[in-house]
Amino acid sequence: MRILGIEGTAWAASAAVFAYDPDDPTPLDATNPVIETDAYQPESGGIHPREAAEHMGEAIPTVIETALDAADGPIDAVAFSRGPGLGPCLRIVGTAARALAGTLDVPLVGVNHMVAHLEIGRHGAGFDSPVCLNASGANAHLLGYHDGRYRVLGETMDTGVGNAIDKFTRHVGWSHPGGPKVEAAAADGEYVDLPYVVKGMDFSFSGLMSAAKDAYDEGTPVEDVCFSLQETIFAMLTEVAERALSLTGSTELVLGGGVGQNERLREMLSTMCADRGAAFYAPAARYLRDNAGMIAVLGAKMCAAGETITVGESAVDPNFRPDEVAVAWRSDESVAIDPVETTERQGAEAVVTVEADRVIKRRLPKAYRHPALDARLRRERTVAEARLTSEARRRGVPTPVVRDVDVAEATLTLDRIGDRDLAAALTPARARVVGAHLATLHDVGIVHGDPTVRNVRIGGGRCYLIDFGLGYHSGHVEDHAMDCHVFEGSVRGTVAAADAENALSAFEAGYAEAGDGAVLSRLREVEGRGRYQ
């Protein structure tokens, strides 16, 4: 079959034709799919929605005509990007797709733009069930296939990674897009400290960008700020990608999104995967930036699976989340693998050696991070984990006893507790206990920082909280809600849907009984934020 894909979520008016054989997965090459793109370039500042829509209206007919002229045969279906993206641009593309499908009398396929970023990588790599890091202008998140959908394992809590970088470059006075200019300037820079904000597998860029602007205004050379922005932002993304691999047990990672064209980001991800024995794949640049090729590839798979829509079902959605898509074109294994208890385990940031009565946790240097940043994080997290583990225990929350701390070697020795992770033994009753434990911590101003199903140990009828390395003190309801959000995200990404909802209801009931109801109200706000515009 031949699929015409049309992309127009923001700046790129693009059309592509992909020849696809469902029985013989079609390789990607220079001629298949054929891609024709006309990108909008603002005269100043960032993307202006009205100007982008005007460009889309002018360019879409031309790129479609060019792609169709290059097609070697008739078109069997029309696929288009339904969202997420800029509403005015999406509506132009949706209208063009409906009209063309009607004219050709072929099926219509509505594609989620972010899932397309993942699928083009999975298709090109030949991976079975990878974790995907999507790093684009308006988005930044980690996805993994589980229980019929692509689950969001972690995401930005404020702005997309590309938009964050663009905010800094606009402040400096550079034209759009800012990413390539930061990459070029960074080649001559040196490292300076900037805020590093990771909350489990979620992350935030707002404070980092404010600090970068302040550093530039105070006279720090722009090359140094650019170098440090890359080292900090991309280390954050690489860390959360490794954390997602650790949570799910996956050994495959794919990269998606326009920011993925950055050489330093690809280098960091490749190094991290090599160090933990995982496979890494980054598509060619023409599939990383916004393009209709990925829309056509996913559209072909959806069409082959019968996932077509009627004109009445084809309304665009500027906030179309990837986890809202029912993934009918896949029925293979979940990205989440049942954890296996071994005497040595490699987590997201440490190697844990299990002995008869104790565990030794070593935060080994991360080769992908800048040495100064890496040393700071290893030191700070070792100290935080030792202090908060002991403090939580004094407050009545079960944790392992800390026997020894070696800050210089970033090593902790703790009592061995439990015989399995909560990931292997989740029940509503245990989820309820975890909710109560977090509420107890929050009531005394302790934020765990990474309370996933892998950081709760089960044994002797108790639920122990472990790994406080990302923890800190805070009495703010937002920080407490984020702790709950991290736990709930880890459940949704690794547990069957029906079991997950029962467990999460119990978790929130346990939290409500012991904690502040305002935290759960804020949790609903966190879940509903529009981070996909």
- Residue 365: cis peptide before it, omega within 30 degrees of 0: no
Query: Is the pLDDT assigned to residue 530 strictly greater than 70?
Result: no
- Segment 145-183, tens digit of pLDDT: 998 999 999 999 998 999 999 999 999 999 888 999 999
Contacts with 87 (C-beta within 8 Å, 6 or more apart), sequence order: 49, 316, 318
**Which residue type occupies 138?**
A
Question: Which of 450, 467, 479, 483 is labelled catalytic?
Answer: 450
- This prediction's pTM: 0.94
Average per-residue pLDDT for the chain: 94
What is the three-state SS of 425-464? CCCHHHHHHHHHHHHHHHHCCEECCCCCCCCEEEECCEEE
> Alpha-carbon distance 19 to 21, whole Å?
7
- Short-list 129, 107, 110, CA closest to 118: 129
**For residue 41, what pLDDT is reported?**
76
- Answer yes or no: are the C-beta atoms of 431 and 506 closer than 8 Å: yes
Amino acid 111 reads V
CA–CA distance, 505 with 124 (Å, rounded to integer): 39
pLDDT at 19 over 90: yes
Distance from C-alpha of 324 to C-alpha of 177, rounded to nearest angstrom = 29
pLDDT digits (tens, 9 = 90+) for 22-40: 888 778 888 899 999 998 8
In the chain the first and final C-alpha atoms are separated, in Å, by: 33
DSSP letter (8 states) at residue 10: S
Whether 342 has a pLDDT exceeding 70, the answer reads yes
Query: Maximum distance among all alpha carbons in the chain?
Result: 73
Residue range 380-419, pLDDT digits in tens? 999 999 999 999 999 999 999 999 999 999 999 999 999 9
Which domains are assigned to the chain? 2-124+287-319 (3.30.420.40), 131-284 (3.30.420.40), 344-415 (3.30.200.20), 420-528 (1.10.510.10)
Give the Å distances, CA to CA, from 491 to 261, 294, 499.
32, 30, 9
Question: What string of DSSP letters covers 205-217?
Answer: -HHHHHHHHHHHH
Query: Alpha-carbon Rg of the chain, whole angstroms?
Result: 24
Residue 331, amino acid: S
Q: What is the pLDDT of residue 346?
A: 87
Q: Say whether 128 sits in a helix, a strand or coil.
A: coil
Torsion angles phi and psi, residue 384, rounded to 5: -60, -40
The more confident residue out of 51 and 268 is: 268
Render 471-498 in DSSP notation, one character per residue.
-EE---HHHHHHHHHHHHHHHHTTS-HH
pLDDT band for position 51 (cuts 50, 70, 90): confident
pLDDT score, position 463: 97
CA dihedral 432, 434, 437, 442 (to 10 degrees): -100
Token digits for 70? 């290059």
Alpha-carbon distance values, 327 to 298, 322, 332, 363, 435 (Å): 11, 10, 11, 38, 31
| pLDDT score at 344 | 87
Q: What angle do CA 419, 384, 425 make, to 5 degrees?
A: 20
Least confident range of 311-325, 336-350, 473-487 = 336-350
Nearest-5° angle of CA 43, CA 44, CA 46? Answer: 110
Task: Give per-residue pLDDT as tens, 79-95.
Answer: 999 999 999 999 999 99
Taking residue 310's Cβ as centre, other Cβ atoms within 10 Å add up to 9
pLDDT at position 365 is: 96
Instruction: For residue 516, indicate whether it is catalytic.
Output: no
CB 114 within 8 A of CB 77: no
| For range 290-298, the mean pLDDT | 97
Task: Quickly tell me which residue has 């959360």 as its tokens.
Answer: 240
Q: What is the pLDDT of residues 218-269, one digit of tens each?
A: 999 999 999 999 999 999 999 999 999 999 999 999 999 999 999 999 999 9
Burial of 44 (0-12, 13-18, 19+ CB in 10 A): exposed
DSSP 8-class letter at 261:
G
